[in-house]
Amino acid sequence: MLRRLSIRNVVLIDKLDLDFHEGLSVLTGETGAGKSILLDSLGLALGARADSGLVRHGNDKASVTATFQLPAGHPVFGLLHEQDIDIEDDELVVRRVVTADGRSRAYINDQSVSIGILRDVGNYCVEIQGQFDQHGLLDPTTHRATLDAHGNLTQAALKVRDHWRNWRETQKELASAQARITKAREEEEWLRHAVDELDKLAPVEGEEEQLAEERQFLMHGEKLVAALGDAENDLSRGKGAESAIRSAQRHLERELEKADGRFEPIIEALDRAAIELEEAMRAISAAQADLNLDSGHQENVEERLFALRAAARKYNVPADGLHNLMKDFRRQIEQLEFGEQELERLKEAGAKYRQSFIESAEKLHEARKKAAAKMDGAINAELPPLRMDKARFITEIIALEENEWGPDGLDRVQFTVSTNPGSPAGPLNKIASGGELSRFLLALKVVLARVSAVPSLVFDEVDSGVGGATAAAIGERLHLLAQERQILVITHSPQVAARGRTHLNIAKREDAGAMVTRVNELVQDARREEIARMLAGHSITAEARAAADSLLGLPA
């Protein structure tokens, strides 16, 4: 429930901190005192559209903070967990800041969030219902979900949605497969020619780079052979370098004993040089053997390289992509060969999902009819006390044509009303007058409150256009609803105001040369005077005070 609302620099409100309690809280005040500003402020904290005009003149920003105390297991906690927002002691604090240039920031428990997340959280916490509100229960698109929630049909509706999704996804797969096969059939001759051509070419990934390197090497082959020959000649000139090294070793070895160890390092170095020279000569011979300067070989390399590159240009892929392209073409041909089997499988799966959807949707349809009958009965039972004993609330469940089926089932749900016997029923938001509409919505709220997860409901002048016994009946129904939910009501009706557990008075006054809105909690005599004012106007009479005492149940 809403525990506290703190407002700073919003239009006529400079600073305001309001504490709210369980049960029914009524807010009264003269027209223009700032009741709508209070609602706009609460809406701002819940994610409503920001407007720079809300910032009080002379200030650079406005802010609204709402604090909620929610029961364990409330659905909003799951949403907050998904957003990694921490909750302590089941307390939720939402805050909105709007600057004078119209920009706004949103916070939940001091963590910055998007306006969308703030709005989603707000929808879980508070529902604001105004007399001419075109959202909520007045929006026909919400009627189906409202009925499902009241009838505890949410899980059944989700099952229908799952079957619908499976059916539609299979239909998309079928359409895609049919398109692929149709295209493949149109291109079959070309595909078979391409596969035959690529199969003969037999491209291998990485082959182009290898061939290009070999071609480059072969283009310089004569120079490489000449270099190897020159090196070999230099090492073999005369008796050869190896013979010279071995001859030097023999000269030193003959005098080794006389050298007293001084020749040993020289002999070892010459021995190593002889070994390395031998390795070099073998390497030169191997390199000469590896070099294939046959002009036919170079031509073969170039022919293969140019064939790969030509095919790559023809099929508009890199040369390394030819191998995969060939496999893709083969798959397309296989689709022609096995496509009919795949199409048949998808058709069978689609028919199965369609049947599952229809069966579950028909069960949901029947369950909705039963739930609608129970809900209509409960709502119609609320109408006589609201002085609408001739009116009827009717939930219409209309079967749809197949082309109108959707994830919500086979039917459309619409709340309709008949305000007079014999009059045809019509849409709730078109048939009822302002006063009637308020009472229909109140009856709906009383019935739906038993299944709603929203802990706080706000009514803006739900008693507009009614008075006397009807206003008293509205007050009684609000009092009944407040036993299950926290209710905040902005009212001009003394009969409604007298039913409040908490009474807040909104007044406008001049402070330091500027108009400001103030809110005071009224108790005892102050409350009596406010209700007397609501009954009599500015000139409060003894009769008005006596009537106020009667409404408040005070002794005469």
Domain boundaries, the chain: 189-332
Q: How far apart are CA 251 and CA 396, in angstroms?
A: 122
Backbone angles phi, psi at 509, to 5 degrees: -150, 165
pLDDT(133) > 60: no
Question: If you average pLDDT over every residue of the chain, what do you get?
Answer: 84
Using DSSP bridges, classify how beta strands 24-28 and 486-490 pair: parallel, antiparallel or unpaired. Answer: parallel
The answer to whether residues 49 and 33 touch, using CB atoms and an 8 Å cutoff, is no
Helix axes 115-125, 75-82, angle to 10 degrees: 160
Q: How far apart are CA 361 and CA 253, in angstroms?
A: 107
Q: How far apart are CA 382 and CA 376, in angstroms?
A: 10
pLDDT(49) > 50: yes
Which range has highest mean pLDDT (109-113, 293-297, 440-444)?
Answer: 109-113
Q: Residue 323: helix, strand or coil by DSSP?
A: helix
Query: Within 10 A of 183 (CB to CB), how many other CB atoms are there?
Result: 12
Query: Which DSSP symbol is given to 58?
Result: T
Query: Which DSSP symbol is given to 53?
Result: G
Q: How far apart are CA 163 and CA 405, in angstroms?
A: 12
The answer to whether residues 104 and 64 touch, using CB atoms and an 8 Å cutoff, is no
Proportion of the chain above pLDDT 70, given as a percent: 93
Query: Within 10 A of 176 (CB to CB), how many other CB atoms are there?
Result: 11
* Average pLDDT of the segment spanning 319-327: 89
Q: What pLDDT, in 10s, does the model give residues 69-96? A: 888 778 888 888 888 887 777 789 999 9
Q: Where are the beta strands (DSSP E) in 72-145?
A: 91-99, 104-108, 111-113, 126-130
Greater model confidence, 199 or 451: 199
Which range has highest mean pLDDT (84-88, 352-356, 420-424, 498-502)?
Answer: 352-356
Helix (H) or strand (E) holding 285: helix 264-290
Residue 63 structure tokens: 């802010």
Residue (of 408, 487, 492) closest to 35 by Cα position: 492
The answer to whether residues 122 and 65 touch, using CB atoms and an 8 Å cutoff, is no
pLDDT of residue 73: 77
pLDDT of residue 132: 43
Q: Out of 320-324, 333-337, 422-426, which region has the weakest mean confidence (pLDDT)?
A: 333-337
Residue (of 112, 108, 64, 71) closest to 89 by Cα position: 71
Read off the pLDDT band of 134 (50, 70, 90).
very low
Q: How far apart are CA 510 and CA 420, in angstroms?
A: 49
Residue (of 340, 355, 351, 349) closest to 177 by Cα position: 340
Residue (of 447, 466, 463, 383) closest to 421 by Cα position: 383
Q: Residue 239: helix, strand or coil by DSSP?
A: coil
Task: Look at the pTM and tell me if it is higher than 0.85.
Answer: no
pLDDT(199) > 60: yes
The answer to whether residues 118 and 109 touch, using CB atoms and an 8 Å cutoff, is no
Residue 10 structure tokens: 């919003």
Q: Out of 222-231, 376-385, 388-397, 513-522, which region has the weakest mean confidence (pLDDT)?
A: 222-231
Q: How far apart are CA 158 and CA 408, in angstroms?
A: 8
Greater model confidence, 461 or 409: 409
Greater model confidence, 427 or 133: 427
pLDDT(188) > 90: no
Greater model confidence, 216 or 474: 474
Read off the pLDDT band of 295 (50, 70, 90).
low
pLDDT of residue 396: 93
Q: What pLDDT, in 10s, does the model give residues 205-225? A: 888 888 887 777 777 666 777
Helix (H) or strand (E) holding 127: strand 126-130
Residue (of 445, 407, 358, 365) closest to 146 by Cα position: 445
pLDDT(432) > 50: yes
